[in-house]
Amino acid sequence: MAATGWKPGVRNGLEVVELETPASTCTIALHGAQVLGFTPRGEREGLWISDRADFAVGKPLRGGIPICFPWFGPHAGDRALPPHGFARTRLWRLAGVEALDGERVRAALELTSDPTTAPLFPHPFAARLAVTAGDALELAFEVVNTGDAPFAFEVAFHTYFAVSDVGAVAVRGLGGCPYTDRVAGGARDHQDLGAAVRFDGEVDRVYECSGLVTLADPARGRAVRIESTEAGSVVVWNPGAIKARTVADMSPEGFHDFVCVETGNVLDRRVTLPAGGRHETRVRYAFGGE
């Protein structure tokens, strides 16, 4: 059985840290603190990366787990600002890597406000992402307000799960939850009790929901259990065939191969931090059989 360990590396020109545990391997880029891969041992890769992804600092990288922070989607007040904030396009600092218990390895990455973030987000902050690989993949995103005035922020783990085919999967656990339908111009709706989300065309919904969500992929014999803490939003996204053709860094058929199920705190669930306040959004992904 493999031991726990880690090593620095380079993937497509980006600096990465590679974690190894008896149960999994995990690759994290310092660019965006973006998890690029998580593979349960002996199984298929759990995350999807576009074959047209741009591996360049300063640009979003389509796939893996981009971090949306300090806002989600288009900026509410200024559409000229980058969508999903700037955390995903910055180089983060690797603060440390530690073996926890012979079974898990944790890497911590940090991003703090500086003169280049101030024009985009005029609030002093310290953000820290802890990525723990083991028999599951765990993410904890902490934000500290290091200034002397309150501020609000949004955050989401924009996770691209690899699937057999988007038309064959189901997202369960959102029954009864209200949602904003971004395909219907922001119309409000709610998921019928007991009804799974399925994909037959573009889906882009922001659910107000917490608790266990499951991504079931029977054709692959896999189900991902998604458990969140201190998170009030679940975004479910796939562009579908038509919208996919307009996405430059995705091949026209690429939409078949992933589903985004994104845990976080966005829109009305954004977090307000008092001066000196701290918040941590957490999620755990367990890849198992159906």
Two tokens, residue 280: 């941590």
Q: Binders of ligand TA6: how many residues, by CB under 6 A?
A: 11
Residues 139-158 that bind ligand TA6 (CB under 6 A): 158
| Rounded Cα gap, residues 254 and 231, in angstroms | 29
Among positions 32, 40, 46, 60, the unique one binding ligand TA6 when judged by CB under 6 A: 60
Among positions 204, 208, 217, 257, the unique one binding ligand TA6 when judged by CB under 6 A: 204
Among positions 262, 264, 270, 284, the unique one binding ligand TA6 when judged by CB under 6 A: 262
Smallest separation (angstroms) from ligand TA6 to the CB of 68 = 8
> Which of 279, 185, 278, 196 has the alpha carbon at shortest distance from 232?
279
| Rounded Cα gap, residues 71 and 193, in angstroms | 30
Rule CB under 6 A: say whether 73 interacts with ligand TA6. Answer: yes
Rule CB under 6 A: say whether 84 interacts with ligand TA6. Answer: yes
| Rounded Cα gap, residues 97 and 18, in angstroms | 10
Rule CB under 6 A: say whether 277 interacts with ligand TA6. Answer: no
Residues 211-240 that bind ligand TA6 (CB under 6 A): 235, 237
Question: Edge to edge, what strands does the sheet with 222-229 contain?
Answer: 93-99, 105-112, 125-133, 137-145, 278-289, 222-229, 213-217, 170-172
Catalytic residue numbers?
Answer: 158, 262
Residue 65 near residue 53 (C-beta atoms within 8 A): no
What residues line the site for ligand TA6 (CB under 6 A)? 60, 73, 83-84, 158, 182, 204, 235, 237, 260, 262
